[in-house]
Amino acid sequence: MYGIGLIKGLGVTIKHFVETYVDDLRWLGRGRYYNEEALKIRQGTEARGVFTVQYPEEKLSVPEEFRYIPFLVYEENPDGTRKDRCTSCGICSKVCPPQCIWIVRSNDPETGRPIPAPTEFYIDIDICMNCGLCAEYCPFDAIKMDHVYELASYERSSAHIYNKERLSKPASYYAEIRPKNYAREEAARAEKEALKAAKKKKD
Amino acid sequence: MTEKETVQITDTLEEQFPGAITRDERQGYDGYIVEAAKLVEIAKSLRDDMGYDYLSSVTGVDYLPDDKMEVVYHLYRSAGGPALTLKIQTPRDDSVVPSLVSIYPGADFQEREAWDLLGIRFEGHPDLRRILLWDGFHGHPLRKDWQEPFFEAEGKPFKSRWPQGEIQRVEDTHPFGKNVHYPSEFTPEGWTPEGEAALYSSLGKIEHGNGNNNKGFETDHIVVNLGPQHPSTHGVFRMVVTLDGEEIVGLKPVMGYLHRNHEKIGERNTFLMNMPFTDRLDYLCSMSNNFGYALAVEKLMGVKPPERAEYIRVIMAELTRVVNHIWAIGFLLNDLGAFFTPMLYVINERELILDIFEAVSGSRMMCNYFRFGGVARDIPEDALETIKILVNERLPRKVDELDLYLTGNEIVQTRAIGVGVLTKQQALANSAAGPVLRASGVPYDIRRADPYSIYDRFDFDVAVRYNGDVYDRYLVRLDEIRQSLRILKQAVETIPEGEIQTGKSQYQARVPAGEAYGRVEAPKGELGFYVVSNGKPNPWRYHVRAPSFINLTPLEEMSMGQKIADVVAILGSIDIVLGETDR
Ligand code: SF4
Ligand code: SF4
């Protein structure tokens, strides 16, 4: 009969419609929105009903690998000073596809050798395509992708070129946003050190 | 096709056309160099006698050091098998080759593109106008001696970035107005585009009061521009149609509004840098784009990814297909007037898959996940679990729901059945690919016809439908989602442990000189990357055979005689993404 398909289709729409209210009932009293637990379910594989996220009041948590504008990692010395991990080797600026990393390396005035730390480090975040290649190929784990994605500003021409000061974040922050990566890299580093030490002993 | 068969074909051709066809002997090259004067005859014989009925790609390469232009053709048999590559060489300063449009109508847009970007003239082309660039454009940008206004150096990485990084913003050094080249005597204000007149005249004669078609009414032909700003065009795309009453009697697509010369950027980039750029082609399917490009470069490098990486690649590519097809169906329904209700239902599922992409690659859409000889990182255990739940439980249920929701719907049927018909012959001749080709009764799927990666290990059927209308293109997509889920179920069960990268991923990939054509069955059709390396860090030539672009070639044939309202549905059923069409 003509119209059967239409009615079946409308059945699907009604199912979705009803599910929305069922879901509301389920969270009655606890709140369907602005509720971490509900948000997880709403966005999970068991989700039914409306799956909207009430941004900016609610935010989706980002996975560890999420990547946005890179930052430079520094170690905090016990005496409060900072030590850049970056050795200004230049690999990140060479691998960067849109070429938005500028690094200034300086030489030691006495020896004339390059100093293994950047004097300046700029990233034009308007050009950065968030590809993550810099972080992937940095041999010193010195540049990593950030999780902060709310970067809008009124001053495009001046505020979007990040300098070293603006880019630098402590290693503890890195450990916080990427715990698994951090642990893996630390373990690899420890292993390398141990190997080195063992070799030294043998010599 | 076996090696023996290839030899046979060449022998026959050499007998038939003595001296006109020779093997390409250059190191790392393949195929045959053909004499221009004999090209059309040879192509005809290949198509009619030897089964090479599908012209996949036409493009050019500028061999500046040899002072030569080369046009490269990739031919396939719709019965399956590897490519037959033909090449023609022509001098750079006066590049003319015969057009193949008369044998393979699918060469139409591709030859126009080669003319536009490389300045190769195709003699006998019925409508050789620029296609991606505007009429006032000066020069042919893919020529190696052409430099963009932002030119800094022939290839990246640029010296100014390290160790003395002198930061400056390009837009400060090239303010608006200074960043375009004009021919010397050109004034932008006093210029009227000749292209428009040529475009309208290419639509055929506009008739007045033809009187016959509309049952005794005296009707004029009128020209209507749909787009470039039009919600039905899925982006910035324009269709110029001639109408007789409501009926379409001529249609020309106009594109290039989103053109950024992806290929020139690609030739300035190093090989690895192109990976994230491919994400931006068909931005809904970045994983498939990565796949095609990785295959091409891996062919040149001679590396193979380890088992686990192959599985991960297949899982990602098939999830991408699901994402693309539900999206395409959702938008088709938008075009049919079911405004956003079906769309939002499918977006829900798409979000769940994008969550997986994000967990795996770090980005929902710009995945940049494949590397030469592997993938960027391993797939997290919990993501794999989520995929299992999705492909085993949720997605099959949702596809069935979508099926129940739409397939039997009488309005959908009335709007889609018998509309925009493309016959099998037309589809093949016009080099249509993917669901558009398969909905017309050609069971051609590269995963089967010319298997790559590990697709030969999975059980799946090639979805095919036979009516070639909008409805069948919708059904083929639905079938393909089910087949993808089938592949996914097998892949997540059998994925082995192990490495995800052969050797160490190098930021400066060493790519030996030569050429390679890597192609995958992307959700929208055959996505091919033609890459030429001269052993340097940057590719000498980087060409994208974009299915969204070439699938538009038969748009006019599909739309002829249809009502103007249906052209929106027809375009929706081709499923284009302008990021890929315009490149
Ligand atoms: S961030 Fe890493 S790759 Fe970049 S210069 Fe510093 S050490 Fe080298
Ligand atoms: S994320 Fe990519 S584009 Fe951005 S700075 Fe790093 S390499 Fe460059």
B435: left (phi over 0), alpha (psi -120 to 50) or beta: alpha
CA B414 – CA B402 distance, rounded (Å): 18
- The DSSP H or E segment spanning B416 is helix B410-416
Average pLDDT, chain B: 87
The 10s digit of each residue's pLDDT in B500-530 is: 888 887 888 888 889 999 999 999 999 999 9
**Any idea which fold B262-582 has?**
Cytochrome-c3 Hydrogenase; chain B (1.10.645)
Give residue B1's pLDDT. Answer: 45
Give residue A95's pLDDT. Answer: 92
Q: Which of B67-76, B212-221, B231-240 has the highest mean pLDDT?
A: B67-76
Name the pairing type of β-strands B21-23 and B32-34.
antiparallel
The 10s digit of each residue's pLDDT in B315-330 is: 999 999 999 999 999 9
Task: Please report the sign of the dihedral spanned by the C-alpha atoms of residue B122, residue B127, residue B133, residue B139.
Answer: positive
> Which of A101, A107, A131 should be substituted to probe chain B, the one whose Cβ sees the most B Cβ atoms within 10 Å?
A131
- Is the separation of the CB atoms in B366 and A129 below 8 Å? yes
B525: left (phi over 0), alpha (psi -120 to 50) or beta: left
Q: Compute the distance from residue A101 Cα to the ligand 2 centre, in Å.
A: 7
B112 CA to centre of own chain = 15
Half-sphere exposure of A146 (CA within 13 A, CB side): 17
Q: Cβ B404–A145 below 8 Å, yes or no?
A: no
Residue whose tokens read 């299992």: B388
Distance between B182 CA and the closest CA of chain A, angstroms: 26
Distance between B361 CA and the closest CA of chain A, angstroms: 7
Joined tokens for residue B147: 């430099």
Residue whose tokens read 């450990």: A175
B481 CA to centre of own chain = 20
- Is the separation of the CB atoms in A159 and A152 below 8 Å? no
Tell which residue, B26, B7, B5, has the closest CA to residue B533. Answer: B26
Eight-state DSSP code of residue B254: E
- Is the separation of the CB atoms in B510 and B270 below 8 Å? no
Q: Cβ A93–B269 below 8 Å, yes or no?
A: no
A183: left (phi over 0), alpha (psi -120 to 50) or beta: alpha
3-state SS, one letter per residue, for A60-84: CCCCCCCCEEEEEEEEECCCCCEEE
Q: Compute the distance from residue A67 Cα to the ligand 1 centre, in Å.
A: 17
The ipTM of this complex is: 0.90
Q: Cβ B410–A132 below 8 Å, yes or no?
A: no
Flag whether pLDDT at B428 surpasses 70. yes
Order across the sheet with B247-254: list the strands: B221-226, B238-244, B247-254
Give residue B217's pLDDT. Answer: 64
Distance between B391 CA and the closest CA of chain A, angstroms: 11
Residue whose tokens read 């195709």: B122
CA angle B175, B176, B180 (to 5 degrees): 105
Flag whether pLDDT at B147 surpasses 90. no
Closest residue (by CA) to atom 4 of ligand 2?
A: A128
* Confidence band of A173 (pLDDT split at 50, 70, 90): very high
Q: Is the CB of A181 under 6 A from ligand 1?
A: no
Give residue B211's pLDDT. Answer: 44
* B3-123 and B262-582 agree in CATH topology: no
User: What is the residue type of A159?
Assistant: A
Domains of chain A: 1-61 (no CATH), 68-202 (3.30.70.3270)
For residue B433, what are the contacts with CB-CB under 8 A and spacing of at least 6? B56, B524, B525, B526, B547, B550, B551
> What interhelical angle do B381-389 and B470-494 show, nearest 10?
130
Name the closest ligand to CA A139: 1
Question: What residues of chain B lie within 8 A of the CB of A131, using their CB?
Answer: 275-276, 366, 368
Residue whose tokens read 């056309």: B17
For residue A111, what are the contacts with CB-CB under 8 A and spacing of at least 6? none
Nearest CB to A99: which of B156, B275, B366?
A: B156
Least confident piece of the model among A73-77, A191-195, B102-106, B161-165: B161-165
Between B11 and B445, the more confident residue is B445
Assess if CATH 1.10.3720.10 describes domain B3-123.
no
B177: left (phi over 0), alpha (psi -120 to 50) or beta: left
Flag whether pLDDT at B289 surpasses 80. yes
CA B407 – CA B471 distance, rounded (Å): 9
Average pLDDT, chain A: 88
Residue whose tokens read 């946005």: A68
Q: What is the mean pLDDT of residues B471-492?
A: 92
Q: Is the CB of A159 under 6 A from ligand 1?
A: no
Give residue B209's pLDDT. Answer: 52
CA B448 – CA B111 distance, rounded (Å): 28
Q: Is the CB of A142 under 6 A from ligand 1?
A: yes
- Is the separation of the CB atoms in B363 and A145 below 8 Å? no
Least confident piece of the model among B55-64, B74-83, B216-225, B289-298: B216-225
Flag whether pLDDT at B87 surpasses 80. yes
Q: What is the mean pLDDT of residues A130-150?
A: 91
Name the closest ligand to CA B270: 2
User: What is the residue type of B501?
Assistant: Q
Atom from ligand 1 closest to the CA of residue A143 = 1
Q: How many CB atoms lie within 10 A of CB B7?
A: 10
Q: Compute the distance from residue B368 Cα to the ligand 2 centre, in Å.
A: 12
Distance between B265 CA and the closest CA of chain A, angstroms: 9
For residue B360, what are the contacts with CB-CB under 8 A and spacing of at least 6? A65, B316, B367, B369, B377, B379, B380, B383
For chain B, give every domain's residue range.
3-123, 262-582
Closest residue (by CA) to atom 8 of ligand 1?
A: A89
Tell which residue, A125, A174, A119, has the closest CA to residue A145. Answer: A174
The 10s digit of each residue's pLDDT in B161-219 is: 888 888 888 778 777 777 777 777 777 777 777 777 777 777 765 555 554 555 566 67
Q: Cβ A9–B404 below 8 Å, yes or no?
A: yes
CA B162 – CA B156 distance, rounded (Å): 12
Q: Per DSSP, what are the bridge partners of residue A155?
A: none
Atom from ligand 2 closest to the CA of residue A67 = 1
Tell which residue, B95, B188, B174, has the closest CA to residue B137. Answer: B188
> Which of A129, A157, A177 should be substituted to probe chain B, the one whose Cβ sees the most B Cβ atoms within 10 Å?
A129
Q: How many CB pairs under 8 A join A and B?
A: 144
- Is the separation of the CB atoms in B329 and B402 below 8 Å? yes
Q: Which residue of B has its CA nearest to A134?
A: B507
* Residues within 6 Å of ligand 2 by CB: A 70, 96-98, 100-101, 123, 128-134
CA B575 – CA B25 distance, rounded (Å): 40
Tell which residue, A108, A193, A191, A93, has the closest CA to residue A142. Answer: A93
Order across the sheet with A101-107: list the strands: A101-107, A114-124, A161-162
Report residue B455: phi and psi, to 5°. Answer: -65, -25
Question: What residues of chain B lie within 8 A of the CB of A7, using their CB?
Answer: none
Closest residue (by CA) to atom 2 of ligand 1?
A: A138
Q: Which residue of B has its CA nearest to A7?
A: B409
pTM for this prediction: 0.90
The 10s digit of each residue's pLDDT in A19-28 is: 888 888 888 8
Name the pairing type of β-strands B32-34 and B84-91.
parallel
B203 CA to centre of own chain = 25
